[in-house]
Homo-oligomer: A and B are copies of this chain.
Amino acid sequence: MTYCIAMWLNEGLIFASDTRTNAGVDQIASFRKMHLFQQPGARCFALLTSGNLATSQNLVSRLRSQLENDEQPNLYNAGNMFEAAEIVGEQIKAIIAHNTKGQQNAGVDFGCHVLFGGQIEGEPPRLYHIYPEGNFIEATEDTPYFQIGESKYGKPILDRIIRHDTNLHQAMKCALISFDSTMHSNLSVGMPLDVAVYRNDALELSSERIQENDGYFQRLRESWSTGIRQLFNDLP
């Protein structure tokens, strides 16, 4: 399966994704699900995918190929974030339409979900959840985060902590704990993780990979696990 989180906060954006894919429990692999597109200083986007891996990879290839061949429209000349999200949505639709037409479908779900966020110079950052149908919703102050994939195990901690005004540092910590809870309960979500923190108006994004043996992540997991048990024991 997959688990991805993206948050739209006062100070900027947070992205996190796992790397495990599976087609049944007997076919496990590792693939990057976070993809960055950027013209530093002018615009930058992060795109996180869940669902059909062929569709997801096709999507990224098509978006890059649009840029390389200067096809119109493309992510680097979209007038604003809304138009950029439309470009992504239209590509998803086109890929799924192509894959499902005139073929055996064999019960396969060709759909993929996308979290797409970033900033274009002159506009504030924005974050979208783009559906397999190509339409999308935008994060707002009331609901400042989106999840795709195996979202339930890791949702309670987000609901308790994340507000629009949560700072980036706390928000990333919360995302990591949400991943920890999810990985505890579902083997099909797994390390390593890809994470990216975007501060408003930086107009540049870089992602970091957190490996299984990452010292900070291990300390965080242990402190949380011990803390939860302690807190639990101290309850009335």
Contacts and interface: CB of A to CB of B under 8 A. Distances in A.
A185 B161 CA distance: 13
A153 interface: yes
Interface residues of A, number: 31
Interface string A110-153: 00000000000000000000000000000000000000000011
Contacts of A229: 160-161
Interface residues of A, dominant DSSP = helix
A232 B173 contact: yes
Interface string A157-189: 101110000000010011001000100110000
Contact of A232 (B177, B185, B232, B235): B177
How many monomers of this chain does the complex have?
A: 2
B236 A174 contact: no
Name, among A177, A235, A236, the residue most crowded by chain B CB atoms within 10 Å (CB to CB). A235
Nearest to A235: B223
Contacts of A94: none
17 contacts: A153-B153, A154-B156, A155-B185, A156-B185, A160-B184, A161-B228, A161-B229, A173-B232, A216-B236, A219-B236, A220-B235, A223-B235, A224-B231, A227-B231, A227-B234, A227-B235, A228-B228
